[in-house]
Amino acid sequence: MRSVFGRDDETWDELTDAALDFLVERTKLQTFTPYTELNTVLIRRTGTPGFDFARDDERAAMGHLLGRVVDRNYPKTGFMITALVSGEGTGG
């Protein structure tokens, strides 16, 4: 099992599913979400450790996750759902 940013494929799949589900919920509410809120939701829904936005590699890991969400969702919807995630509140 390969590891990217210290997380294995199974964890990335779980995080991707949870992030996409949450962002779909945000579209129904017609609202944006800060990175910190997404991070909190991912911790709660998956039980995995959160992203540490004080670290460059962890901010890059969140970018990797958002890229995975786009790869999964965009071909089906034509919408870059990750545009709903704002930089506000990232601590970086």
CA angle 63, 45, 56 (to 5 degrees): 25
Would you say residue 63 lies in a domain?
yes
Would you say residue 7 lies in a domain?
no
List the domain range (segments joined by +) for residue 46: 17-86
Would you say residue 11 lies in a domain?
no
Greater confidence (72 vs 2) lies with: 72
Average pLDDT of the chain, as a whole number:
93
Would you say residue 79 lies in a domain?
yes
Q: Residue 31: pLDDT above 60?
A: yes
Would you say residue 75 lies in a domain?
yes
- The total number of structural domains in the chain stands at 1
What is the pLDDT, as a whole number, of residue 81?
97
pLDDT digit string, tens, across residues 38-71: 999 999 999 999 999 999 999 999 999 999 999 9
What is the rounded distance in angstroms from the CA atom of residue 28 to the CA atom of residue 30? Answer: 5
The amino acid occupying position 70 is V
Burial of 72 (0-12, 13-18, 19+ CB in 10 A): middle
pLDDT digit string, tens, across residues 8-18: 999 999 999 99
Would you say residue 44 lies in a domain?
yes
Q: Residue 2: pLDDT above 90?
A: no
User: Which position has the token pair 């494929």?
Assistant: 9
Would you say residue 8 lies in a domain?
no
Would you say residue 92 lies in a domain?
no
